[in-house]
Amino acid sequence: MFKQLGIVGTGAMGTGIAQLAVLSKIDVQLYDVNDTLLRRSTVRINANLRKMVSLGKLSQEEVQASMDRIRTRTSLPDLSHCDLIIESAIEDIRVKKDIFKHLDANTKSTTILASTTSSLSITSIGAHTRNPERIAGVHFFNPIETSALVEVVKGYKTSNQTIEKIIELVNLLGKTFIVVKDTPGFIANRVSQPLFGEALRLLGENVANAEQIDRIVKIIGGFPAGPFESMDQFGIDATLAEAQSLFEQSYGEPRFRPHPILKQMVESGWLGRKTSKGFFSYEKTNDK
Amino acid sequence: MKTNKRKTPKVLKKTAKDSEVNVKVNKGAPQNANLKPTPARIFIIGESPMVEQYAVLCAQHGYDVYISWNQKPTQKPEFKCDGIKITNIIPKNTSLVIELTNIDFLAKKKNLERFDKVLADTAPILSSSITLTATEQSSWILGRHRLVGISALPTLIQKPLVEIAPTIYSPKETLEVAKLFFQSIGKEIEIVQDRIGMVLPRMLCRIINEAAFAITEDIALPQDIDKVLKLGVNFSLGPIEWAEQIGLKQVYAVLKALHTDLQEERYRISPLLKQMAFTRG
């Protein structure tokens, strides 16, 4: 049983995991670098839980009890008594290695340390720590509230015991798990990469335009969303970062080479929905 | 000796409404109201199970369907609907032919040359062009104006949309007849460029190939790969399920054609996939 779950980082993923955890009656120590970020996160969780009340999924009392399970922290050593700590900071290997170095120094050797990275090597993140056998990956999918699956990533030195603990947590959070090997992109990002990579190639080669490709993929392929609307939703910058990571980690495997279109769009500031312009335009027209 | 001259048959110069090609349009009566209504005759040849799938669909929409295969299926198919006849001979008054070969290029060439000799000038040829471009196929025949490429893989014809690719020889009248035909069997069309793999087959086969590489590298169990893609990334089917539906021989044929056409390492084929295509198909 988990007495305390530590979460490092209050981005969308970290906040989502915290919300899931408190709803599953797990106490959470939520860490970020300053109080502003922490407050933003707890406000978001509170708002989400209140929405669930209005939908009849939760009672007021359960909202209060859930929020009471969250303790906010701005000092990593404050997480030292957690049974398991999930790191959910930005997707930057140097930042993650630094966090793990601090966690390694300030936790018991039995504390499980996990990263939500979707594209970086768990083995690499945990390298040079005292006990790499306690380090694993726990890759959640967006949107975390409704996505059923978690990839549990076994690094080169990750012990079976660590995997069992992660699985225990994933089950408590009500998710389905698959254990995967620590390789570039794991399974989901790697095997789905051709959907986006080939879509970009087809666009670049003028075989069809973005609307056509999305329509074909949805109507004939049965996908819920086309590759271009998905990239606009996820963010062109995030898509490029993930593609770049997969390409670099595989030492330049040609199958994973990012398409130049992505770089050009990012440099032009066309990042998708968040900038109202990506492969499609989302600009609101002024009503006269 | 026939001259290798592009000619647009007179009937195709008329509008689709006046066309003498007796293509059933949205289950309406044939265009010439003076004739006793008869179902339009269609000949379908190629690879199983695409031939059977197209045949059933056309028969269900009232066509008089004749079919043949490059290689007869080991088990004779049983059709639950009437109007499908198995024959090696292209029947007289065939209005339209559908060529569904992706793997055996020699057989495809023989089929197209036969159509070219036997069919009326007005009969369009809808030919699968995901492993050989429609333009290349057109170069084998004199009646180049009447060939249009289609994206054909097992089960895809069951969806409401079909990718079609005109060649540089296709006049708009041929495309219009192709569109009317597909509409008459309840499908809309999406016109794309005439390229190997077209859109969806290229994407699907690359995904299946990547799954095969992942299985080879022991990253996860095959059944788990499907689970991850469906639950994590919301695929309608996992790559293994897609491979079972399409058939590994077909997947291999598309990937081989892409690799040959584009000459890039990016399209190299998983040895596991190749092995399974030849042993399990």
Rounded to 5 degrees, φ, ψ at B150 are -130, 155
Instruction: Give the pLDDT confidence score for residue B76 in this predicted structure.
Output: 85
Per-residue pLDDT tens digits for B110-136: 999 999 999 998 899 999 999 999 999
Any A CB within 8 A of B123 CB: no
Terminal-to-terminal C-alpha distance of chain B = 43
Domains and CATH numbers, chain A: 4-181 (3.40.50.720), 189-275 (1.10.1040.50)
- Is residue A130 within 8 A of residue A102, CB to CB? The reply is no
- Inter-chain CB pairs, A–B, below 8 Å: 130
Any A CB within 8 A of B217 CB: yes
| Cα dihedral value B197, B199, B202, B203, nearest 10 | 180
Measuring CA to CA, which residue among A52, A77, A54 is closest to residue A66?
Answer: A52
Cα–Cα distance for residue pair A20/A109, rounded to 1 Å: 26
Select from B156, B219, B235 the Cβ nearest to the Cβ of A223. Answer: B235
Domain spans, chain B: 10-191, 200-279
Q: What pTM value is reported for the model?
A: 0.89
Rounded to 5 degrees, φ, ψ at A177 are -120, 155
CATH of B200-279, one of 2.40.110.10, 3.30.450.20, 3.40.1790.10, 1.10.1040.50: 1.10.1040.50
Cα–Cα distance for residue pair A244/A256, rounded to 1 Å: 8
Q: Flag if B232 and A215 touch (Cβ within 8 Å).
A: no
Burial class (CB in 10 A: 0-12, 13-18, 19+), A250: middle
Any B CB within 8 A of A167 CB: no
Cα–Cα distance for residue pair B215/B217, rounded to 1 Å: 5
Q: To the nearest whole angstrom, how far is the Cα of B135 from the nearest Cα of chain A?
A: 14
pLDDT tens for the 281 residues of chain B, in order: 343 343 333 333 333 333 334 444 333 333 433 334 466 999 999 999 999 999 999 999 999 999 999 999 988 888 888 889 999 999 989 999 999 999 999 999 999 999 999 999 889 999 999 999 999 999 999 999 999 999 999 999 999 999 999 999 989 889 999 999 999 999 999 999 999 999 999 999 999 999 999 999 999 888 999 999 999 999 999 999 999 999 999 999 999 999 999 999 999 999 999 999 998 75
Detail the DSSP E strand segments found in chain A. Answer: 4-8, 27-31, 70-73, 84-87, 112-115, 135-140, 149-154, 176-181
Per-residue pLDDT tens digits for B149-190: 999 999 999 999 999 999 999 898 899 999 999 999 999 999
Distances, alpha carbon A282 to alpha carbons A122, A179, A285, B212, in Å: 37, 38, 9, 38
Per the DSSP assignment, residues forming a β-bridge with A152 are A138, A179
Q: To the nearest whole angstrom, how far is the Cα of A65 from the nearest Cα of chain B?
A: 30
DSSP state of A270: -
Q: Quote the tokens at residue A12.
A: 């969308």
The fold for domain B10-191 equals: Rossmann fold (3.40.50)
Q: Which residue shows structure tokens 């593609």?
A: A243
Select from A141, A202, A221 the Cβ nearest to the Cβ of B232. Answer: A141
Rounded to 5 degrees, φ, ψ at A235 are 110, 125
DSSP-derived pairing of the beta strands A84-87 and A112-115: parallel
Per the DSSP assignment, residues forming a β-bridge with A113 are A85, A135
Any B CB within 8 A of A187 CB: yes
Any A CB within 8 A of B211 CB: yes
Tell me the chain B residues in contact with residue A183 when contact means C-beta distances shorter than 8 Å.
217, 219
Measuring CA to CA, which residue among B150, B188, B187 is closest to residue B167?
Answer: B150
